[in-house]
Structure 1
Amino acid sequence: MEFIAAGIDLFMHLDKHLAQVVQDFGSWTYLILFLIVFCETGLVVTPFLPGDSLLFAGGAIAAVSGLSVNFLFILLAVAAVIGDTVNYAAGKYLGLKVFARFIDPRHIEKTHRFFEKYGGKTIVIARFVPIVRTVAPFVAGIGAMSYGKFITYNVAGGIAWVAVCLYAGFFFGNLTFVKNNFSLVILG
């Protein structure tokens, strides 16, 4: 029960906890944030990690600390792209082996057709939808979306997602209203 309470506290007060991480770990904060973004996007079993709010908080903390927001942008965009690529590969090479007995082959074919028609839009838009962001690349891999198409939209979506969330935090995260209502902002 304490674990759940600690998780809720971490999520609700991410700005304070991230500031403490920067204070305690300095430059290692970059690696910590990279790993969290990679895991949130790359491991289909970790969609609960706070991607959007972490990026926003990272931007807000960069505005008042020694963290470089531009270096964070490059690093976290790379983490997001690599994470989704790993997730896509897991879906492509392991997905059917693991889930074949549970999934009707007709659904696999429908998934393939869907990703051929709407895959690019899905990969980009999914970046901005928690949980869907983690599942979409895996399903794209299962649905045999072409890798060339996937990586093109993965890069575009990863850059857009990190830029919007991180720079929003950088420019707006330290406004008095946002600071006083940070837990509401990250929920919204």
Structure 2
Amino acid sequence: MNNFDWSQLINPEFYILMELGGIKIGLLVILFIIFAETGLFAGFFLPGDSLLFLAGIYSELLTQQISVGSDFVNVVFLASMVSLAGILGNMVGYWFGVKGGSYLYNKKDTFWFKEKYLLQSRDFFDKYGGKAIIFARFLPIFRTFAPIVAGIASMDKKKFMFNNIIGSVLWSFSMILSGHYLSALFMDKFNIDLKSHIEYIVIIIVLITTVPVIWKLLKKRVHI
């Protein structure tokens, strides 16, 4: 702990390589973060997309304690567990929106919550309807508040669950499989180990996922 650096909290590799008493707990930490990002709306500041992409790169390490010997099955299992965590997280977010989400509009801003994020997610939901639950999975901040807004808007439960499952599966499988197979491709074709270039990968993914959001917000401000 003496070597702990607070900047590690925004480094996805830190969570993947985390150990407790000599036991690797990276998989459990990842599942909790994905759940908390929507279920507890407390992980919006975490690099969710890059976390899953890196999870694909480190899939062998993350699944070594439960490995069945097949690389493909291990990766699919990892992506399936992440999908389930995302589905459960969205369900809790939706439930919170139904039961008491309206009070958030009167809640004071804190580090964990900002009203502008809720309002932006509501506009996003109004524009795309049920599909917003799917699209939001690929957009930081929006994926945290979209299920809450869906609950506040009393979105049909079956419709919500359908889009929730589709969005979570598409997001987790696309990010994890991309990380896993691109890592293998770069190693086989170019002899480049992506694990040695994690910083650049994180920066690229953050830019890809946040630039559209920033552009949308700036464009909206111009029209105001």
The bucket for the TM-score relative to the shorter chain is 0.7 to 0.9
Q: Unaligned stretches of 5+ in structure 1? A: 103-107
Partner of 2:163: 153
Partner of 1:184: 200
> Is this contact kept in 1: 2:125–2:146, CA < 8 A?
no
> Is this contact kept in 2: 1:63–1:170, CA < 8 A?
no
> Is this contact kept in 2: 1:41–1:87, CA < 8 A?
yes
Bigger fraction of residues in helix: 1
Report the TM-score when normalising by structure 1. Answer: 0.77
Report the TM-score when normalising by structure 2. Answer: 0.66
**Residue 79 (structure 1) shift:** 0.2
> 1 or 2 for the larger relative contact order (CA 8 Å, sep ≥6)?
1
> Is this contact kept in 2: 1:119–1:145, CA < 8 A?
no
In the alignment, residue 44 of structure 1 is paired with which amino acid? F
Q: 1:80 aligns with which of 80, 83, 86?
A: 86
Deviations 1:63-95 (A, max 9, x none): 456263222111110000000110011111111
SS state of the match for residue 44, structure 2? Answer: coil
Q: How many residues align?
A: 175
**Residue 19 (structure 1) shift:** 3.3
**Residue 121 (structure 1) shift:** 1.6
> Is this contact kept in 2: 1:88–1:141, CA < 8 A?
yes
Partner of 1:56: 53
Q: Is 1:31 equivalent to 2:28 in the alignment?
A: yes
RMSD of aligned alpha carbons: 3.1
Q: Unaligned stretches of 5+ in structure 2? A: 68-73, 109-118, 187-191, 205-224
Partner of 1:9: 8
> Is this contact kept in 1: 2:79–2:172, CA < 8 A?
yes
In the alignment, residue 183 of structure 2 is paired with which amino acid? G
**Residue 118 (structure 1) shift:** 2.6
CA distance in 2, matches of 1:98, 1:186: 32
In the alignment, residue 87 of structure 2 is paired with which amino acid? V
**Alpha carbons of structure 1 residues 150 and 7: separation in structure 2 relative to 1, 3 Å:** farther
Q: Is 1:42 equivalent to 2:39 in the alignment?
A: yes
